Structure 1
C-alpha cells in the first residue's frame, strides 16, 4: 500500500514529522490533541510512574492511552518502544526491565529522538534510534517485548508495520499498544490536506480490522484491556466533531507472538471471511449498494440463467412466486439500508426516491407486470442508492473540513 486516500507515503511522513517536531520543540503551543503531564494523568498513568520523568520530556508526551495496562514488559526484557516520541514510555519501560534489560526507543521524528538523547543522556539501559515502523532496523527475533503508544494510526502501511513487529519479536514475545481506532472508515478523498493525517482519525483503522491484522500476522491471545474516549480530551472542537463522526476512540491491547507466522493460505482465508466483508460494507455505508446488486442479480441474473440453460440442454423449473418474493426481499432490504443512511446525512431525498422505486418494482411484481415498469423501478432505486452514497461522502467531507 503506497498511498491511502490520495496521500503518498512521503506526504504522510512529512506531515507527521512536521507536527511532532513542533510537539518536541514547542510543547506549550496549542495542538488539536492533548499533550504533557496532564494528558498522562487523564489517560491513566499512575503518579508514581510520572514523578521522576524529566519535565522537558513529560511536557512533550503525546500518547493516546496507557499501554502498560497490558503488562507485557517483564524484568530483564529487551524492549522496543515503537514510536517512542519524547521517550516517556521508554523511561518507564527502562525501570520495569531493570539494569539487566534494555529499551530501544525508536521514532520517525528527528526532533523527538534528538530531545530524548539529550535529556536522557546517561540512562544506561536506553538506546535511541531514528527509524520507520515499516522498516525496523533490528534483527529477526531480537526483542522480548514491544510497547507502542499512538504510533500505528500514523503509519501508512499498517500491514507491513505489524509484520515487522512480528519479525523482530522472539517467538512467545509480548506486545502492548495503545492506539486510535474508528467505528467507520474514512472513505472520502482527503488528498487536499495531508495534514489531516495528524488528526489521528484519517489514518486510523476500524477496530475489528486492526485486531484482525495482528491475528493474520500470527499474534495470539489478543485482548483489548482498555477503551476510552481519547478525543474528549482534545482542546479542538473540530477534532472532537471529526472523532465523533467516525466513532474514533483509543484502545489498549495486549497480545503474544505465535511460534510462527500463519501460511499464506490461512492469511487469505482470514481476509476473505464473508463476515469481515459484511462488516466492512456496513461500516462504509455500502450495504444499500450491495442489497441493490443482489436485487438486480436475483431479477435479471435469474432471467438470463433461465434463458441460457436450455441452450446447454439443462432444464430449469422456476417457481415464479418464490422468484418474485426473493426479488422483493432484496428490494425492501435496499430501501431499509438507504433509509438508515438518512439518519447520518439528514437528507430525505434518497429515501423518498428509493420508496418510489421500490413501490414501482413491487407493483410490477405483484399487481400488473410490465418489464418496462420493473426496469424503471430499478433505475429509480439505483439513482437513490447513488444519491445516498454521494450524501454520505459529502457529510464526511464537511466534517473533515474539505470542500
Structure 2
C-alpha cells in the first residue's frame, strides 16, 4: 500500500463507501476483514439469532463483534442501529423491541441502505435512512437505545459521532456497541490516506481513549464486556501482521446516557487530566523525549529558577545531594524509555547512545563534576531519544507498507 497524504474527510468517507458498496453487492469477493455467516458465528452470535436472517443479508455481514451482549434493547424501544450495513443487527433488534418498538437503521453507504430497504420493505418496524454518524438526522432525546457494530472506527470525527449518540438518546438511554480499537496508536503521518482507513487500523482509536471519549460526552457506567482477536479471522496476512503490530482487536461495550450534557469546564478538566496526557505521550513514543525534558528541567531548570529567585531577593536553599539524586533518577528514566523502544524497532544505536549519555551524566554528578561532561551526557541522551522516536516512526511506516 502507498500512502497519499492530504485527503479530506469527504474523500475518506468516499473510500469507506466504495469498500462497503462492494460488501453489499459482491460479498463473495475477497476482503481484508471477515464477512458473512461464518464471521457472525465466530464473533459470538447465537445460531438461533441468525437462523432467520435472509441469506443475502447475512452474506454481507461485516460486523466486528456481538453488540447484543450489552442487552441495551428492551421491548417497546425506539432504537437506532448506527452503521446498520446490510441490516443484520437491525432485523435482530426489531425482534427484540417487538411490535410496539421501532428500529431506525442508519448507514452512510447507499448500496447498503438500498439492500436493507429491499429486505424491510414489508417490515413496518424498521425505517432506513442514509446519513453519517457525525450528523444524525434525529431529534434530541428521542431514542431509548442505540446499537452499533463496527462503525465508529470508520468515522473521521469520533468525538462528534459520540456526541451525536449522546444527543439523540433520552437521559438514561442505553448504548451497546462493538468496534475496532488498538493498544498503540498509529503515529506516522498517514491518517488522511483513505486506503489505509478502509484496509488497515488507521481509523481505530486506542481502547482507553474510546472509553474516555464516551465518558467525556456524558455516558455513565461505561463497561467493556468482551474483547475479540478479530483480525485473526482476516484472510489477509498483511492485515493480520499490521493488527498484531498495533494490538488491534475488537471490543463490545455497554454504557448509559447520563442525565445531562457535561459543561465545557467539566469536559476541559477531564480532557486535561495529566495522567491522560502522560499515557498519550507514552503510547505515541514520546516518553523518551518527555523524560529527557524532565531531566533537563530538573538540572538546568531548577538552577535557572533558583537564580531568578535570588535576583528577586528570595533565597532558596537546595540540598546538593537531593538535587543530584533527582537528576540521576530522571536521566535513568529517560534512558529506560529509550531502551523500551528497542522492543519495537530492534535498532540498538538509540539504546547505546542513551546508555552512554546516562553514564556520562552520572559520572559528572557523583564522581567528577564538569559542566562540559554533564552537557555532553545530556547531548548523547538527547540524540538517543530523538533517534529512538525516528526509528519508531520508520518501523510503523514499514509495517503499514508506506
Q: Establish whether TM, by shorter chain, passes 0.5.
A: yes
Aligned-partner SS, 1:276: helix
Q: Please say if residues 8 and 192 of structure 2, whose CA atoms lie closer than 8 Å, have aligned partners that are also in contact.
A: no
1:14-53 alignment, distance < 5 Å: 14-53=14-53
* 1:337 paired residue number: 337
Aligned-partner SS, 1:397: helix
* 1:264 paired residue number: 264
Q: Please say if residues 154 and 200 of structure 1, whose CA atoms lie closer than 8 Å, have aligned partners that are also in contact.
A: no
| Deviation of 1:189 (Å) | 0.7
| Deviation of 1:225 (Å) | 1.1
1:158-177 alignment, distance < 5 Å: 158-177=158-177
- The CA distance in 1 between the partners of 2:254 and 2:47, in whole Å, is 22
- The CA distance in 1 between the partners of 2:167 and 2:207, in whole Å, is 23
* 1:216 paired residue number: 216
Once the two structures are superposed, residues 12-38 of structure 1 have per-residue CA deviations (whole angstroms, 9 ceiling, x without a partner) of 101111110110111000000000111
- Go from structure 1 to structure 2 and tell me whether the alpha carbon gap of 1:232 and 1:354 turns closer, same or farther (over 3 Å shift): same
* 2:118 paired residue number: 118
Once the two structures are superposed, residues 52-93 of structure 1 have per-residue CA deviations (whole angstroms, 9 ceiling, x without a partner) of 111111110000000000100010111100000001000000
1:118-267 alignment, distance < 5 Å: 118-190=118-190, 193-199=193-199, 201-267=201-267
Deviates more, 1:298-307 or 1:288-297: 298-307
| Deviation of 1:120 (Å) | 2.5
Once the two structures are superposed, residues 85-109 of structure 1 have per-residue CA deviations (whole angstroms, 9 ceiling, x without a partner) of 0010000000111111110000000
1:275-286 alignment, distance < 5 Å: 275-286=275-286
* 2:380 paired residue number: 380
Gaps of 5+ in 1: none
Q: Please say if residues 200 and 239 of structure 2, whose CA atoms lie closer than 8 Å, have aligned partners that are also in contact.
A: no
Q: Please say if residues 56 and 119 of structure 1, whose CA atoms lie closer than 8 Å, have aligned partners that are also in contact.
A: no
- The CA distance in 2 between the partners of 1:200 and 1:191, in whole Å, is 11
- The CA distance in 2 between the partners of 1:353 and 1:336, in whole Å, is 12
TM-score by length of 2: 0.97
Deviates more, 1:365-374 or 1:34-43: 365-374
* 1:109 paired residue number: 109
Q: Please say if residues 6 and 193 of structure 2, whose CA atoms lie closer than 8 Å, have aligned partners that are also in contact.
A: no
Aligned-partner SS, 2:197: helix
Aligned-partner SS, 2:298: helix
Gaps of 5+ in 2: none
When the two structures are aligned, how many residues end up with a matched partner? 398
1:257-336 alignment, distance < 5 Å: 257-336=257-336
Q: Please say if residues 191 and 197 of structure 2, whose CA atoms lie closer than 8 Å, have aligned partners that are also in contact.
A: no
Q: Please say if residues 64 and 250 of structure 2, whose CA atoms lie closer than 8 Å, have aligned partners that are also in contact.
A: yes
| Deviation of 1:267 (Å) | 1.2
- The CA distance in 2 between the partners of 1:364 and 1:165, in whole Å, is 57
| Deviation of 1:340 (Å) | 1.1
Structure 1 vs Structure 2 CA RMSD: 1.2
* 1:390 paired residue number: 390
| Deviation of 1:200 (Å) | 5.1
1:59-78 alignment, distance < 5 Å: 59-78=59-78
Aligned-partner SS, 2:341: helix
| Deviation of 1:191 (Å) | 5.5
Aligned-partner SS, 2:85: coil
Once the two structures are superposed, residues 329-380 of structure 1 have per-residue CA deviations (whole angstroms, 9 ceiling, x without a partner) of 1101111111111011101110001111111111111122111111111111
| Deviation of 1:306 (Å) | 2.0
Aligned-partner SS, 1:290: helix
Aligned-partner SS, 1:352: helix
- The CA distance in 2 between the partners of 1:249 and 1:22, in whole Å, is 23
Q: Please say if residues 183 and 248 of structure 1, whose CA atoms lie closer than 8 Å, have aligned partners that are also in contact.
A: yes
* 1:58 paired residue number: 58
- The CA distance in 1 between the partners of 2:188 and 2:275, in whole Å, is 24
- The CA distance in 1 between the partners of 2:78 and 2:162, in whole Å, is 18
Q: Please say if residues 12 and 193 of structure 2, whose CA atoms lie closer than 8 Å, have aligned partners that are also in contact.
A: no
Once the two structures are superposed, residues 125-148 of structure 1 have per-residue CA deviations (whole angstroms, 9 ceiling, x without a partner) of 010000000000000111110000
- The CA distance in 2 between the partners of 1:321 and 1:148, in whole Å, is 58
- The CA distance in 2 between the partners of 1:322 and 1:276, in whole Å, is 29
TM-score by length of 1: 0.97
- The CA distance in 2 between the partners of 1:6 and 1:276, in whole Å, is 28
Aligned-partner SS, 2:81: strand
